[in-house]
Structure 1
Amino acid sequence: MADAVPEAIHTDGDHFPLKEKRGEILARKIEEQIMRAGWPVGEVLGSEADLLQEYKVSRAVLREAVRIMEHHGTARTRRGPGGGLVVTKPDARAVVRSAAVYLDSEGITPDKLAAARTGVELIAVQLAAQNIDEDGITRLRAALDRERASVAGGESVTSGRNDVHTVIAALSGNPAIQLFTETLTLLEVEVFRSVSEPKTASDARAQFLDDHIGIVEAVVSGDASVARFRMQQHLARVAAEIHPH
């Protein structure tokens, strides 16, 4: 049986006492239990009555915890017979958007954004080249085909979730690298859109496509050194477009 959920007192960065609500504590407690269980997606954790009895909290506290977990994407309420609180898999897109919004609110500068992105993506492209297989080659070529169509249609070469950068990050085999790449790419794309004139953006899109073709060629051939070099050149070009000196 789970322990009753108390209120918690902690401090913020200036050491002022803050009270953490019971609903937040309970949500974190249940999420930690889900993680320890190996994230059993689809498993019913219990009905509302079951959970009230297990955690010894009020209905209001439990419902607040459920609302928080639904916002996190870690669980949802399923109605009807056999229903209850069900474990779900969080949507990475929501995490990426939240992280990008947070970094923007913190006033991250273009040079710091470029430095972070370069550090992450050089590792990603090296791992992708080292681990490349037929499925990865197919995914990269499909990403290039989408990008060519996007450029021909006058759209952003880095719009969408399946552009070359995110595919390379996925092929790294490291979910953290993939998450960081998608977050930083999204934020940099939005900065680029805000600072580029239409003609400049159009010229840059064509150049970025050429860069991506060269990067993909190196990854497909398994040449990690060349892939890193071409990625570094490309990211420097992107940074120069966003923050010219």
Structure 2
Amino acid sequence: MSEAIARDIVRRIGAEELAPGTQLPPEAKMLEEYRVGRGSLREALRILEVHGLISIKPGPRGGPTVDQVHTENFGRMATLYFQMDGVTFADLIEALIIMEPTLAALAAQRHDPQLVVEMTRFTRPARTDDEEYARDAADFHRLVAAMSGNPVMSLFGQSLNDIVRDRVSPPLFPKSRRPAVLNVHCDIARAIIDGDADRAEELMREHMAEYAAYVRRRHPGLMKEVVDWR
């Protein structure tokens, strides 16, 4: 019963295009609508909260509220299955090596005008201190995934990157290597802006292969570790 209620709430959020921050009906109204016990309704809401789809605020003016869909939540759920299936970080990074070049090629092919404007940000010099570098690197790969135009691949690509970033922290590359990484991002960004799918794919493949090689050198034990649920 709780799963059926949770599915119906998700359908309603999608059908009514409820924006993040929208408050759902109060508990009393939901109980009346679904004609179920308080335990079943609260379990349904808990299911959605655990998956990061809603947040529940306490207090008289609180209640269930539509949350922003974050790739981190999808990645967190995926790590549970990865751990149960014995997926290693080597498997995870191999998947990124395959997926990221495809995302870059699609980004160049589909060439969304609005997102192309955003991509120009990465053709300019960026700072290499820890916080700025980590944010710019993450933003670059998120934008490439978003520009692919395929929501499934974008979600998977961003989530896998989220998992790796959560485990490999602080930023992997030392400051001496960061300008070279940012230059590669710049070259990939220009290829995407120019609509050159072949070059964008090639550059991203080389970039990800270099990234994987560096992870193996700096964290040799990590590659054999099973991805743990976080």
Q: What is the TM-score normalised by the length of structure 1?
A: 0.69
Give how far 1:192 is off.
4.1
1:211 aligns with 2:175: no
Aligned twin of 1:14: none
1:201 aligns with 2:174: yes
**Is the CA contact 1:192–1:241 (under 8 Å) kept in the aligned structure 2?**
no
1:112 aligns with 2:83: no
Aligned twin of 1:95: 73
Amino acid at match of 1:27: A
Q: What is the TM-score normalised by the length of structure 2?
A: 0.73
**Is the CA contact 2:107–2:192 (under 8 Å) kept in the aligned structure 1?**
yes
Size of the aligned set, in residue pairs, is: 215
Amino acid at match of 2:35: K
**Is the CA contact 1:74–1:89 (under 8 Å) kept in the aligned structure 2?**
yes
Aligned twin of 1:127: 106
Amino acid at match of 1:120: M
Separation in structure 1 between the aligned mates of residue 69 and residue 16 of structure 2, nearest angstrom: 17
Q: Residue 192 of structure 2 aligns to a residue in which SS? A: helix
Closer, same or farther: CA 183–52 of 1 in aligned 2, 3 Å: same
1:223 aligns with 2:196: yes
The runs of 5 or more residues in structure 1 that have no matched partner are 6-22
The runs of 5 or more residues in structure 2 that have no matched partner are 221-230
Residue of 236, 239, 242 corresponding to 2:209: 236
Separation in structure 2 between the aligned mates of residue 207 and residue 97 of structure 1, nearest angstrom: 28
- Which structure is higher in RCO with an 8 Å CA cutoff and minimum separation 6? 2
Amino acid at match of 2:76: S
Separation in structure 1 between the aligned mates of residue 78 and residue 180 of structure 2, nearest angstrom: 25
Separation in structure 1 between the aligned mates of residue 87 and residue 51 of structure 2, nearest angstrom: 24
Q: Which has the higher strand share?
A: 1
Residue of 143, 148, 151 corresponding to 2:126: 148
**Percent identical:** 29
Separation in structure 2 between the aligned mates of residue 231 and residue 85 of structure 1, nearest angstrom: 41
Give how far 1:112 is off.
1.2
**Is the CA contact 1:104–1:187 (under 8 Å) kept in the aligned structure 2?**
no
Aligned twin of 2:223: none
Amino acid at match of 1:183: S
Query: 1:167-199 CA deviation, whole Å, 9 max, x = no partner?
Result: 111111122222212212223334444795xxx
Aligned twin of 1:69: 48
Residue of 9, 17, 30 corresponding to 1:51: 30
- The Cα RMSD (Å) is 3.5
Residue of 148, 158, 183 corresponding to 2:159: 183
**Is the CA contact 1:191–1:242 (under 8 Å) kept in the aligned structure 2?**
no
Aligned twin of 1:17: none
Query: 1:8-38 CA deviation, whole Å, 9 max, x = no partner?
Result: xxxxxxxxxxxxxxx4453244334545x36
Aligned twin of 1:174: 150
Amino acid at match of 2:89: P
Separation in structure 2 between the aligned mates of residue 242 and residue 229 of structure 1, nearest angstrom: 20
**Is the CA contact 1:27–1:68 (under 8 Å) kept in the aligned structure 2?**
yes
